[in-house]
Chain A
Amino acid sequence: EAQVTQNPRYLITVTGKKLTVTCSQNMNHEYMSWYRQDPGLGLRQIYYSMNVEVTDKGDVPEGYKVSRKEKRNFPLILESPSPNQTSLYFCASSFRGAGGLDTQYFGPGTRLTVL
């Protein structure tokens, strides 16, 4: 089954404790992205990657790191989490199809709480 998986789905942690949220897709997509979703602010892109070893900042990259060493994986790293990073995080993958259409396939989301 074609899918994007994220782990963990729920995480409660404390300020300053490094964490990684994994994201994996089995559709051989070139493009992958991370978003955070907050009430009243909508989905905001954190980082995106256009292929292996190619990443770029989205709208809100501060406090986050990413890597793309393999096509299928795109982990999100919070080196020193802070309470303002409490949010719902989505990973997405896509490929550029005909006419420029690149449908984003979203993972199930990771709800992160930083105390």
Chain B
Amino acid sequence: GQNIDQPTEMTATEGAIVQINCTYQTSGFNGLFWYQQHAGEAPTFLSYNVLDGLEEKGRFSSFLSRSKGYSYLLLKELQMKDSASYLCAVRDRRGANNLFFGTGTRLTVIP
């Protein structure tokens, strides 16, 4: 089966750095994704990791350790508009399009 865990809620201050963790246990692994979802809107793609290490994309970075079943999303220089839910998703080995999502982490950025 698949089990993906992330904290339910986090709060951070504008301008700060926040790390959102995701741990997973899946029957197979073929890539990990992070999505951002603002309230009432559709998720939008943030990052993708399939090999161990850090992927950096502007203010956002994502890290993966396959041996530990662990990923984190790092958001730097937080802005108020970063208040959103952040969804961790794992693609298993079965198919090109079989994604399993965590329940999401609701991030609130305060002034």
Contacts and interface: CB of A to CB of B under 8 A. Distances in A.
Contact of A100 (B30, B43, B87): B30
Give the 9 A-B residue pairs with the shortest CB-CB distance, closest first. Answer: A106-B42, A42-B103, A43-B101, A48-B97, A31-B97, A103-B45, A42-B101, A101-B48, A106-B43
Interface in B3-36: 30-31, 33, 35
24 contacts: A31-B97, A33-B97, A35-B101, A42-B87, A42-B102, A43-B43, A45-B98, A45-B99, A45-B100, A45-B101, A48-B95, A48-B97, A48-B98, A50-B95, A50-B97, A56-B98, A58-B98, A101-B31, A101-B48, A102-B96, A104-B99, A106-B42, A106-B43, A109-B42
Interface in B69-111: 87, 89, 95-104
Contacts of B87: 42-43
Contacts of A56: 95, 98
Nearest to B104: A42
Contacts of A90: 42-43
A107 B44 CA distance: 10
Interface string A16-45: 000000000000000101010000111111
